[in-house]
Structure 1
């Protein structure tokens, strides 16, 4: 079984022409499995989804790894886990002639440290609403390396949601663009001190069970291409005390407003990415 998955995960070309249409990671397709006896094929026939990767086996045949739009475990497929990531040959997919602009909304923070769990709560709030096609809302908590790997999955834009002290009244929301020039040190917030695409210069290693947005973005940029559009939605905390398992009143009250803000940013980023063909990605 291990040899099978090794062969199936051999990276193929960036794109393959299917029925005269270029298909690549992010391309939308309709599934047309050849099998008729397999129950799973019957269930998936006619479903639409997104190509996560183009793979090539040792015999040179192309296989398209597809996640299905209405799969509640779609994020597991994007993490390359079996059961939510389906492989099909070129004659089993119907290209829809479009590439979905893909946005990752990452809720980050430690739910055991009071208001530090703000990003996680916003992610939960967003996940309870109907899903916007092409938008993945994920609660990363303090799993910094998981977020690093997620940023390598061909997203066009990412929104990080976190608590960050900036000297404002508790519950104040701020949107940061970490790709802009840094502010002077005495005025800079944690999300603005370093641009993720900046040279590494011997930066500090990332703690695998910690979550510093700047370090996460920097490491992701060192490993490969990262989304061109990056925003950090920050909330001013009132407390971040250990063993305080709930948000303070002003920060809790800011959760719905933050969710609305994130949704507005998502629409803006999709529109901007669509104007550029959803293909530009920055390199570190």
Structure 2
């Protein structure tokens, strides 16, 4: 029997009430060295772990305000990102709930960070969005490397970052198990990217020197 619009809304609401809606969001740009940390964390989590149906993993890239519908729809938001914690480069830190906004506004790393502050603010203005926030972030070592990959110090924090996210979910009563079969997306795989990208000698990663020095 088909549900009326009101009946459908009631059913959806009941489904949502049955489990906390969790969004694990990776933010950043894979092409700007350590800026890609958050996306790489989410990729690794998706490849290695199976999560309950109420947990969504999302590569948010640099979509900015385009992330509003996803943030509106979750009860708990976990963000993986390169964040300026004003700590030693390569440091991994975690912030929760009321601590999160101060870190997202502590220093501008790139355009996406300002946009994501706006995402949270707009969701709150509309009375929607997560009641719980958690940021697991790394202090970047290098950003000015277009086409570069994660620096060794930041790459070493991928496993600890995943462990922190899994522990945070566990504290909420959400368990993830090992995935039997990993999803494959070779185009975005970090090993493939690092193997096939041009070297720094073949392709300038900081800009065209003819423009940087003002020559024609």
The structure where strand makes up a greater share of residues is 1
1:179 Cα deviation from its structure 2 partner: 2.4
- 2:42 pairs with 1:147: no
Asked if the contact 1:26–1:102 (Cα under 8 Å) also holds between the matched residues in 2, the reply is no
Distance, in Å, in 2 between the alignment partners of 1:12 and 1:179 is 36
Cross-structure match for 2:201: none
Cross-structure match for 1:231: 134
Using a 3 Å threshold, how does the CA distance of structure 1 residues 120 and 99 change in structure 2: closer, same or farther?
same
Per-residue CA deviation, residues 60-108 of structure 1 (Å, 9 max, x unaligned), is xxxxxxxxxxxxxxxxxxxxxxxxxxxxxxxxxxxxxx71222100000
Instruction: Kindly tell me the number of residue pairs found equivalent between the two proteins.
Output: 167
Cross-structure match for 2:12: 24
1:237 Cα deviation from its structure 2 partner: 0.5
Using a 3 Å threshold, how does the CA distance of structure 1 residues 210 and 167 change in structure 2: closer, same or farther?
closer
Distance, in Å, in 2 between the alignment partners of 1:243 and 1:227 is 33
Unaligned runs of 5+ residues in structure 2 are 175-216
Unaligned runs of 5+ residues in structure 1 are 1-9, 17-22, 28-50, 52-97, 183-187, 194-208, 272-284
Cross-structure match for 2:28: 109
Using a 3 Å threshold, how does the CA distance of structure 1 residues 177 and 214 change in structure 2: closer, same or farther?
farther
Cross-structure match for 1:259: 162
Per-residue CA deviation, residues 196-226 of structure 1 (Å, 9 max, x unaligned), is xxxxxxxxxxxxx834332221122223411
- 2:112 pairs with 1:210: yes
Cross-structure match for 2:150: 247
Using a 3 Å threshold, how does the CA distance of structure 1 residues 211 and 270 change in structure 2: closer, same or farther?
farther
1:112 Cα deviation from its structure 2 partner: 1.6
TM-score by length of 2: 0.67
Asked if the contact 1:107–1:160 (Cα under 8 Å) also holds between the matched residues in 2, the reply is yes
Using a 3 Å threshold, how does the CA distance of structure 1 residues 210 and 236 change in structure 2: closer, same or farther?
closer
Runs of 4+ aligned residues of structure 1 deviating over 6 Å after TM superposition are none
The structure where helix makes up a greater share of residues is 2
More moved, 129-138 vs 105-114: 129-138
Distance, in Å, in 2 between the alignment partners of 1:232 and 1:125 is 17
Distance, in Å, in 2 between the alignment partners of 1:219 and 1:130 is 32
Using a 3 Å threshold, how does the CA distance of structure 1 residues 11 and 146 change in structure 2: closer, same or farther?
farther
Distance, in Å, in 1 between the alignment partners of 2:172 and 2:68 is 20
Per-residue CA deviation, residues 29-58 of structure 1 (Å, 9 max, x unaligned), is xxxxxxxxxxxxxxxxxxxxxx6xxxxxxx
- 1:86-235 aligned within 5 A: 99-133=18-52, 134-153=54-73, 155-180=74-99, 189-191=103-105, 210-212=112-114, 213-235=116-138
Distance, in Å, in 2 between the alignment partners of 1:234 and 1:104 is 16
Asked if the contact 1:26–1:101 (Cα under 8 Å) also holds between the matched residues in 2, the reply is no
1:260 Cα deviation from its structure 2 partner: 1.1
- 2:6 pairs with 1:12: yes
